Amino acid sequence: MSRRNVDLPPLNCLQTFEAAARHLSFTQAAHELNLTQSAVSRQVKRLEEDLARPLFYRLAQGLSLTPAGVRYFRTVQRLLRELDRESAELRRRGADRQLTLASTPTISSIWLAGLLPQFQRDHPDLDIRVLCSESPSHLDVSEYDLGLFYHLDEMAAPHGLELSPVFDSEQVITVCSPGYLERHGPIRDLHHLLHAHTLLIVEDHHHDWLTWADWFADAGADYYSPRHALRTNSYQLLMQSAVMGHGVALGWKRLLESDLDSGRLQTALPHSMHSRGRLHLMQPHHRNPPAAVRSFRQWLRARTEEAGLAG
């Protein structure tokens, strides 16, 4: 067994020195590394003692590097960057078996949860993780491999993401359960909907969320406050209420495909309108996609093409 190189410095001090040399401040280095200022000072002092020479001039107006400190800083920074790159590459290779998907709680529970069991059966070697967030802007792009979010076509892509639509278009329809119509009778027209039926309404919607007022305007009818309504800020809860027969909701047809096909939900009125946005795959820029990402993209593309839904 080879003997450890006795000329190596105390390795735990190198990152501290690099941060202090980069900021020329023990205080800022301490803040970056979540250490105390005195801990940074002690680690730098230990490194200087090990090297038997000072690395900083400690002046009244602040720190500056000695000539030896300048040379050592360049070497340490280069080595730490190489170590960082190699570590990231090794993690990436290990992540080839893991796929992290980011999406909204609504898309994850209503649509994605229905797809993933089949994908896992087709790719049993992959581990899947779902990260829920209301918007990709709430996440760092390093946290996930692919995002699935609705996005308005006229809006710029979120920073750092490349977008590709999952569906060519999306229709917004009215939905309810068969049991609801059995108990309350058919909906004769839009006035009858507002007067004699319960509307399920999302409150605190985002600026791109279609409302009942939008849907009525597209149908060429006036909208007014319904006689009966159930309101919530959760679209998941709203759709669960629709499935349970509590009222009539606006639904995104592609998103509710499995509920419509199974008969848990049905179209309440014939009118539909184009959605302002489409479901998009969002992939971080400047990252070579691992095998798990390529597999999911190809699988989803094949599935939508098979169903005649692809863009």
pLDDT per position as a tens digit, 85-119: 777 766 665 556 788 999 999 899 989 998 999 99
Q: Read off the pTM.
A: 0.64
Give mean pLDDT, residues 167-186: 93
The predicted structure's pLDDT at residue 53:
93
Q: Which two tokens stand for residue 6?
A: 């006795």
**What residue type is assigned to position 91 of the chain?**
R
In this prediction, residue 233 has a pLDDT band, given cuts at 50, 70 and 90, of confident
Give mean pLDDT, residues 52-71: 94
Q: Kindly state the DSSP code that residue 61 receives in the 8-state scheme.
A: T
Give mean pLDDT, residues 166-178: 92
How many percent of the chain have pLDDT more than 70?
91
- 8 A C-beta contact, residue 148 and residue 268: no
Report the SS3 class of residue 179: helix
The predicted structure's pLDDT at residue 180:
97
| Pairing label, strands 62-65, 98-103 | unpaired
pLDDT per position as a tens digit, 140-159: 888 889 999 988 878 888 88
**Distance from chain centroid for Cα 75:** 37
pLDDT per position as a tens digit, 119-140: 999 999 888 989 998 888 888 8
Mean pLDDT in the chain?
Answer: 88
